[in-house]
Amino acid sequence: MGVLRLQLPTDPRWVNIVEKNIEEILTDHAWCEQKAATNAITIITNNSEHQDLVQDLLALAKEEIDHFEQVHNIIIKRGLKLGRERKDDYVNELYLYMKKSSNGSRVSSLVERLLFSAMIEARSCERFKVLSENIQDEELAVFYRDLMESEAGHYTTFITYARKYGVGIDVEKRWREWLAFEESVIANYGKGETIHG
């Protein structure tokens, strides 16, 4: 999976599950975008001394909210309803790993949060690629192709800042450990009509 370095690709047959419930995948996707914006704001709140990080994550948060709006507009256009926020078990597993991995220092907490964020963006990017290449719905194929590029940019932003501000931490080693952990987690998913399901 090239640049993203994900260890386990999504089985394209996952798209067959998605296509049976487009309303569900769109609702789940919309909330994923909202959570991504909230996550960026949380990082800003906790690390406001890093001006460059604040500026870049403000732009990222705005983009995520714009994506939320785009998904919501597709939902409205199709006469569907934005359902309630969905629980994301995949992200929750990564979150617990992040909390467990931090040594409690501010630097470690920032690096772990950035790698957590990069991991979600990387897998979302990969899922959007699979959707864009396999879904029969032409509008959604184009939509997910466009979003795939955006998610790749977000992944790069998070990794870059982890390397920049991870003073005294072997960020590359931590990223390899994150990739190995994510492989063990994602192996249990791919059976639901959600972005990470």
pLDDT confidence band for 173 (50 / 70 / 90): very high
pLDDT at 1 over 60: no
Each residue's pLDDT tens digit, 53-78: 999 999 999 999 999 999 999 999 99
Supply the DSSP string of 34-87, one letter for each residue: HHHHHHHHHHHHHTTT-HHHHHHHHHHHHHHHHHHHHHHHHHHHTT----PPPP
pTM, rounded to two decimals: 0.96
Provide the 10 A C-beta neighbour count for residue 57. 26
Q: Which CATH superfamily is domain 15-187 in?
A: Ferritin, core subunit, four-helix bundle (1.20.1260.10)
pLDDT at 41: 98
Q: Give the start-end residues of each E strand in the chain.
A: none
Q: Percent of the chain scored above 70 by pLDDT?
A: 99
Tell me the average pLDDT across 101-127: 97
Each residue's pLDDT tens digit, 25-47: 999 999 999 999 999 999 999 99
pLDDT at 98: 97
CA nearest 22: which of 151, 146, 187, 141? 141
pLDDT at 2 over 70: no
Tell me the average pLDDT across 121-144: 97
- Domains of the chain by residue range: 15-187
Do 18 and 25 meet the contact criterion of CB atoms below 8 Å apart? yes
Tell me the average pLDDT across 142-151: 94
Tell me the average pLDDT across 156-179: 97
Provide the 10 A C-beta neighbour count for residue 38. 13
Q: Phi, psi (5° rounding) for residue 167?
A: -60, 125
Do 25 and 195 meet the contact criterion of CB atoms below 8 Å apart? yes
CA nearest 62: which of 82, 44, 81, 50? 44
CA distances from 147 to 124, 129, 197 (A): 9, 9, 18
pLDDT at 4: 86
